[in-house]
Amino acid sequence: MDAIFPRRPTGRFCISIIFQSNEGNEFMSTAYSEAYQQRFGGIARLYGQQALMLFSQAHVCVIGIGGVGSWAAEALARTGIGAITLIDMDDVCVTNTNRQIHALRSNVGQAKTEVMAERIRAINPECRVTCIDDFITADNVAELLDNNFSYVIDAIDSVRPKAALLSYCRRYKIPVVTTGGAGGQIDPTRIEVVDLAKTIQDPLAAKLRERLKSDFNVVKNSKGKLGIDCVFSSEPLVYPQSDGSVCASRSTAEGPKKMDCTSGFGSATMVTATFGFVAVSHALKKMMAKAARQAK
């Protein structure tokens, strides 16, 4: 359902919110509770009461519930976002322990979306969580992606589905922020948000640009931009070597090597989580700016 930003209400705890259905002809009134206000009063004191109202109405979709996406979902839940959709088809694996918030011994083998949804509900029982056990493809993106999402956070780590998702969002003007590669880095202070065309030191983003151009004819505009916000790090990558050491260049002695959970880039929570947190911070800022423009 698409939320309509209301007038600032009166009353200490009961704030009325109006929702419009996708059909545009059904309305319902709801209110966030005293418990919600107690949980997220700190958010109101930081962003303002009207912003908290906006967050309580927002519906954000996180795609890819891994080293970046799981932390993004956590941040959304702890900011009081009213509805969160989680899309992923992977299960929690023991090799996720170093970087994913839901990777606990008790959760190994369970669906990432379901484990994350349970955690979100424990944080905020009033949050409406939807789990979609699927991977994004060019064939199903229109079906899976509700164009009434307040924002989409792309935390997919594969080029083909990322390109399909971003092309669709760009075409239909769905607010989205994508994330580049978070592996092979140790310094979270190098993370920032730029246009996807402007990233450096990011092989995933570079391949993504190529795929967007070749498969979807997404090219730079006259200002040299793609019009897609991207969280990335400018830090040079650290490559694992066959002898157990690491260095700043890929080993060529063994030829091309698949970069996966067991033999690819190493990764650490302080970096992958920061990618997710920066993506959420950016989405919140954009949502607030849009609401401010609409209020004029």
Q: What's the average pLDDT block by block, 10 residues per block, for the chain (296 residues)?
A: 30 32 36 89 96 97 98 99 97 95 96 98 97 96 90 98 98 97 96 98 97 97 97 94 78 49 83 98 98 89
Report yes or no: 70 and 111 within 8 Å, Cβ to Cβ.
no
What is this structure's pTM?
0.86
pLDDT for the residue 251: 61
CA-CA-CA-CA dihedral for 68, 70, 76, 82, to nearest 10:
140
Phi-psi region at 252: left, alpha or beta (left = phi > 0; alpha = psi -120 to 50):
alpha
Residues 175 and 250 in one domain: no
Identify the pLDDT of residue 22. 37
Do 170 and 74 share a domain, yes or no? yes
Q: Are residues 248 and 165 in the same domain?
A: no
Are both 74 and 149 inside the same structural domain? Answer: yes
What is the pLDDT at residue 180?
98
Q: How many domains does the chain have?
A: 2
Residue 27 lies in a domain: no
251 in the same domain as 135: no
Task: Quote the CA–CA distance of 174 and 207 in Å, as a whole number.
Answer: 22
Do 136 and 102 fall within a single domain? yes
Residue 201 belongs to a domain with what CATH number?
Answer: 3.40.50.720
Q: Are residues 114 and 247 located together in one domain of the fold? A: no
- Assess whether 110 and 217 both reside in one domain: yes
Q: Is 7 part of any domain? A: no
Q: What is the pLDDT of residue 28?
A: 34
**11, part of any domain:** no
Containing structural domain, residue 245: 236-266
In a domain, 33, yes or no: no
Residue 263 pLDDT: 66
